[in-house]
Every structure is written in structure tokens, then in C-alpha cells.
Chains A and B, each alone.
Chain A
Amino acid sequence: MNALPFQLTAVFAQSETTMAEGVDKLGFMPYIVLVGYLALLLALGVFGWMKSRGGEDDYYLAGRDQGWVVTSLTIMATFFSSFALLGAPGMVYRDGVVFALFSLNVPVGGLTVYLIGGRIWKLGKKYGYVTPGDLVADYYDSKYGLRILVAVAGFLYAIPYIVMQIQAGGIVSQKLFGDDTFATGAIVLATITTLYIMIGGMRSVAWTDVIQGAMLIVGMLVGGFAMLLVFDGPGDFTHRVATELPASSLTAPGNSGIWVWTKTMTLVVLASSGSMIQPAQWMRYYAARSLTALKRSAVIFAAVLTSCFLLGVMLIGLAGQVLYPLQFEVAVTPEEKAEWQLLDDTPIHSAFSVSQEKVAIQWEGKARPELRDQDFAHLKSLNLGPQWNGSIDELEKSFNDAGTRPSVVPHPEVDEDPSDRKDFDAIILVVLNEKLPDALGSFGAIFASLMIVAIMAASMSTADSNLHSLSAIFTRDVYDQYIRPKASEQERVWVGRLIIVAASALAVGLVIFGRQEKGATETVASHYDLLHMIAQLGFVAIAFTAQLLPMAIDVLYLRRGTKAGATAGLFFGLVGAFLFGPLFGMLADGSGLGILISLKSVIKALGTGLPIDGSAWGLMLNIPIFILVSCYTKSVDPVKQQQFADVVKGNS
């Protein structure tokens, strides 16, 4: 391997301010706006409780009487998680413009609202369903197996999403108010959210979602616009993006190399549809007042939400790349390290941890003045220099060593931890703190504070919906079926409230524990890695609920499948999504068991051969098994099939 003709990143020690110091630029504004916002949420919780009429239908579905404004905003707010304002800008910051193509998953979600949600609404109105399990179990006549599996899919979606949102609350707090406030931020977010769900149920959740959804839409679009003001107008912004970013930031598969078209397309088709069929959204379809409410929601979702990503998040992430250039890391051998130390008086370990076996490269690629002749020659051959904008693939080729693809890391001012720089998600907070107040003065401070609250809103609107649906699933599909079938509605609602408290406490514990134990052991470190990248956690959750799609399409459109087919398909689909997602790899590494590590190798080889998302791998097992088993097992009662067909076609 050639010696690296780059300046080592002694710049790590040169970060001008930490973000916690940076919040000083915003003064007390974030505190005032945050307190006002949290008080408003609690007031809406109380108002929802005053309007409630009691009973499960009211607590879980707001009396099935939500108009199109509330329906569209609550669907959007539930979809908008911390991914929208932390994960997505982080992803654009890491990978560049290819995210614009991933944004095309949102119109698919809009279609799902009408094509799947509309028929779910019709059946829910006719038969009084509350959870996804109610509908599926009724159609397939399954009291146990299938209902439980559907509930498990719901749990597997809701739990990572709740953890993810609470973690986001901690990250926002930590980045703004200092490292020691992570736990406080997570606890405050969880407590306020739990309180207003417990008090007012779906009505409070939906009303707070209206406020939160509106804040998010405005925040994302105005956030994108504000980025243009940080530069000297749109012309300067686009010119700098086109000329200063590396080629790999302007093309697929992006800097991380994951956005090959097969992966992008499968994610576009399955990420939104999988997310729109998750239990919290499914229950929002039941809660709509009319089909017109869902029709309008579908159009608003597709048009408005996609523009938020394409015109808001994209600009924030790309501005981040220009303002805080990415860096790249390559693994080096001890011999190479020793050689480099001879080249330069500055020992490598002073720039980067020796134990990491890595050297970071500044994107600008400034050559060290004391480089040897052959290093200069190598630099010249690569055509590198301060304005080099070649691709990461060129960088990889320069090492002539397969398997040493450089990894991309954020700028040191974005993630200040030199031993573990992975936190791309902080880019929006850094830009808000460091650039907006400078560019826009006191207006910038107010706007930055509102954006920070919008990030909290994104987290809370998803956490509340998932906690609420988790509670419904547990009480309707588990407690009412297996534990106390004769429990009254009132008792079930109270059990649901206790579940909300327990799930919140568990999620807070998991987030805080994962943070504190970081690096203590390999297993915990891996667990922390999973929590670290918000978007990653979202894709894991979506892969599980995407497995409900074949069954939903069968019930709502085809009505050819059988109970055994649906059960087997869903079971193997969930197993497939688990095996091909990041969870299994971490489990295998943590367990140290030979058989699991071998299986992981096989799965990795398959994933390399066909780079598609874990949800698609799950469906590749789910669909054939569903069809095959349905061919040889007892079909659903024809009377039931006809009843469902009449309802979804509007004949009944």
C-alpha cells in the first residue's frame, strides 16, 4: 500500500467551540421555546381528556371521528420521526444527493394511505376493529397463532421506534446543553409524552400531532430556505455544492457505498409501504371519519411530505457537507504506521488513536510539506489537491488493496469524539447552532430555537403514536385474548395506560444504559452502535412491519390465501428480515457461537451478491411460502370471503 499523501488530521485538536458552548449563541431562547411547547402539549392532553367519552373506541380511535385535517397531519406526524430531522439530514450529509432518489419512497406511502388504508377503514367501520390483529384474526379465523404473530410484528416495529425517539431527545439535549444532559433530555421527552397519552388517549395524541406535524412541515421547508441565507443566495449555494463536494457525494451509491440501485429501489417501494402499514398508522385509518379524509390525506402526504425532504432536508444536508467537509479513513498496518512515523515528526497516534488502526484523511487533502519525493509523485498521479473532488472509489483504487475501502466520517466539529466518529445525525444541530445565528442575527437564534423544538416534535409525535399503538396491541391482542378475556373495557383501558408507562420506562432504561456502557464490552459497544445511527434503527423496524404487506393485500384485494399460509409466510418473513438486518450480525458476533458466525458469513455473502434491503429479503421468503402453503391448506370460509369482498368494494 502506498503512503498516504495527505496531511494527518491534527485538526482534531483545533475544533473552535463545542456545541454545548455554541448554544450560548442562542441565549435563553431554546429554553423559553421548549418550555412553552411542552406546556402546550400537556394542555392539549388535558383538553383531550375533557372531550373524551370513555371506552376503548374513544381511547384508542378518538371515536372514529377524525376529519381530513387531523387525519392527514396525524398520519404525517407519525411518519415523521426523529429520522426526518436528525437521521435524514445526517444521511444526506454522509451520502450526498442520492438521498433525493430515496425521498421518492414518500409518494409510495401516499398511495398506501388510500389503497391499503381506505379498505382498512371500510372494514374497521363495518366490524369495529381496533388493532391490525383484530382484522386479520377475524378474516382468517385465527384466535391464537396469527393474531400473536401480527402483534409480534407490531411490537418489533414499535419498540425500536420508541427507543429511537427517546434517544433523539437525549441527543438533542446533549448537543445543545452539554454531555451530562443526555439522560435528562431522554427522560423529559419520555415523561411528557407518556403523560399526555395517558390522560387523553388517541384524541390527545392526534391533536398534539396536528401541532407537531405543522411545526415539522414548516421547520423542514424553512430550514432548507434558511440554508440558502447562510450562503450568498441560491446561486452561491448550488455553485459550491457542484464544485466543492466529492464526486461520490453527487452520484450513487454515495460515500458509504450502500445506495446501489437495487437497494435504493427496494427501499423506496418497501420503506414507506412497510411504515404505512405499521400498527399506529393502521389504527389511524380506522380513526378517520370518512374515506374522503383518507383520500385527501393520501394526496397531501405524497405532495407535501416529499417536498419537505427534497427541498428542506436535502438543502440542510448538502449545506452541511460544504460547511463541514467530510473526512475519510483507511485501515493501515503497523508497518505502514511505523513508516509514516518516520516520514513525519508528528507521530500518528497524536492525530488519531493508535488502537483504532486507522488514519483519518482531511478531505482537502493538503500535502505535508516534508513529504518525500515518491509521495509527491503519488499525490500528483492521483491528481489530488485542495480542490480535489474525485470519488471515494478513486481513493479506494489508489491503495491497490481490495477490502480497504475508505470509510467516511463526519467533520470533527460535527462529532467531537475522535475515537468513534460516526455521528452524522448531529449535522443539523451544528449548523443551527453555529451558522444560523451568525448569518441571521437574532432572527437566526429564534429560528434555530424553533427548529430545535421541531426536532423534539418529530421525536414525540412518533413516540406517542407507537406507545399508544403498543398499548392497544397488548390489551386487545394479548391481555384480552389470553390473560383476562372477561375484562371490562374500562379495565383494558387502564391496563393499556400501565403498558404505556412500562414501555416508556423500559425504553428510557435501554437508551441510558446503552449510552453509559458504551465501550465496556464488545457486545454492548455493538448495541450502542445500533442505537447510534437513527436511520439504521428505523430501517430495522420497517423491515418487520413490511412483512404484513402480503397478508394485508390478500385480505383487502385477493382473498385467496389461507390461515396456515398467512401464518407461515409471516413467520418466515419476520425471520428473514431479522437475519438480513443488522441485528442478527450483532447477535452472532456477541454470542461468539461458531454456528451463528458461519450463518452470518453465508448471509453476508448472499447480501453482497444481491444487495437489497432486509425487508425485501424477508418478503422473498414470506410471499412464496404464503402462496405455497395456501395451495395445500384449508381455505378461508367462503361466506367470510364474500362479506369482506362486499365491504371493500362498497357493496355492503
Chain B
Amino acid sequence: MESRRKQFGWILTVAFVIAILMGPGPGMLLVNRPTAHFGLPDLYVWGLFWYVVEVGIVVLAYFFVWHDDAPKSE
């Protein structure tokens, strides 16, 4: 159980790094043009998409990776 939790943690870490590289990183160059989709500029839609991805990763980590081991106080 613990090893699966750690494995999932690593998967989420890699996914988050990819989200950073694609969102504000070099991935932005893929959509860096003054055109619009859904009525919104492409770069804005790009930012909203990676926001959903990043928050999704944080929520998954909250439910499946982070646990509440507290120290005993002295």
C-alpha cells in the first residue's frame, strides 16, 4: 500500500513538472500567436488549461498521496 502511494506520488510529480514545462515553460511557444479560440486569446486558454491540470494534480495528491503522520510532542 505504502509503495503504491509512493509510486503514485512520483507519477504526480512527473506530471506536475510536465505541466510547468508546457504551461509557462517552452510549451507556451506552441500557442504563441495572436489568435483566439472560444472567443479567448490562445495564450489565455493555454493558461486556463494548465491551471486545471495543476490543480487536478494537487487534489489527487491530497486524497491519495499526502498523509497525516504527526510527531509526538515533548
Give residues in A with beta carbon < 8 Å to B.
97-98, 100-105, 107-108, 110-111, 114, 118, 122, 125-127, 234-235, 238-239, 241-242, 247, 250-252, 261, 264-265, 267-269, 290-292, 295-296, 298-299, 302-303, 306-307, 310, 314, 389, 391, 647, 649-650, 652
Contacts and interface: CB of A to CB of B under 8 A. Distances in A.
Nearest to A243: B36
A235 B58 CA distance: 32
A103 B23 CA distance: 10
Contact of A100 (B43, B62, B68): B43
Nearest to A652: B71
B47 A100 contact: yes
A114 B62 CA distance: 9
Contacts of B4: none
Contacts of B14: none
Nearest to B62: A299
B22 to A, nearest CB: 10
B70 interface: yes
A354 B66 CA distance: 62
A250 B20 contact: no
Contacts of B46: 100-101
B25 A125 contact: no
A264 B24 contact: yes
SS class, residues of chain A in contact with chain B: helix
Contacts of B41: 97, 241-242, 250
Interface string B35-66: 11001111110111011001101110110001
A299 B54 contact: no
A648 to B, nearest CB: 8
Contacts of A252: 28-29, 32, 43
Contacts of B25: 261, 264-265
Nearest to A100: B47
Contacts of A298: 58, 62
A165 B28 CA distance: 32
Contact of A391 (B24, B29, B34, B48): B34
Contacts of A261: 24-26, 28-29
A548 B31 CA distance: 35
Interface of B: 16, 19-21, 23-26, 28-29, 32-36, 39-44, 46-48, 50-51, 54-55, 57-59, 61-62, 66, 68-74
Contacts of B71: 122, 125-126, 647, 650, 652
A650 B25 CA distance: 35
Contact of B70 (A102, A251, A290): A290
A649 B32 CA distance: 43
B39 A291 contact: no
Given A238-B36, A295-B68, A310 B58 contact: no
A127 B35 CA distance: 56
B54 to A, nearest CB: 4
Contacts of A296: 62
Contacts of A108: 20
B28 A264 contact: yes
A101 B58 contact: no
A225 to B, nearest CB: 16
Contacts of A650: 69-71
B40 A111 contact: no
Contacts of B16: 111
B39 A239 contact: yes
A290 B28 CA distance: 39
A107 B32 CA distance: 22
25 contacts: A98-B43, A100-B43, A100-B44, A101-B46, A101-B50, A103-B51, A104-B24, A107-B54, A107-B55, A126-B71, A126-B74, A241-B40, A241-B41, A261-B24, A264-B25, A265-B26, A268-B20, A295-B62, A299-B62, A303-B55, A310-B47, A310-B48, A314-B44, A650-B70, A652-B72
